[in-house]
Structure 1
């Protein structure tokens, strides 16, 4: 199954992967509560980082939404 999931995901792919509504994922991104990276105008999510986040191994406020 891990082979079917890309290492770097779009927000839509991350929404399906985490099984949360897209609107909820956007809220998590906006508040900085989910680890992600903004590339241009698009958000990207690392599969391994999301797995650690779900397991509670990462701190909150770990995205780059507040950086230049």
Structure 2
């Protein structure tokens, strides 16, 4: 099982978690392949998905 919380984060919380500006997250989350969910009309990010995504990033 993956680590991390199952908590859903708002875009602002997710941007803070990733240490990027909110505008950067909104502009790039699809291109980056960051998993996101729609809850009604709101965009949410699962904390454990962000942690898994970060762990797959490699500096080249």
Q: TM-score, normalised by structure 2?
A: 0.72
Which structure is higher in helix share?
Answer: 2
TM-score by length of 1: 0.65
Equivalences, count: 53
8 Å Cα contact 2:6-2:48 kept in structure 1:
no
SS of 1:14 mapped into structure 2? helix
Unaligned runs of 5+ in 1: 58-68
**Unaligned stretches of 5+ in structure 2?**
none
Q: Which has the higher contact order (CA 8 A, sep 6+)?
A: 2
Deviation at 1:52, TM superposition (A): 0.3
Residue equivalent to 1:60 = none
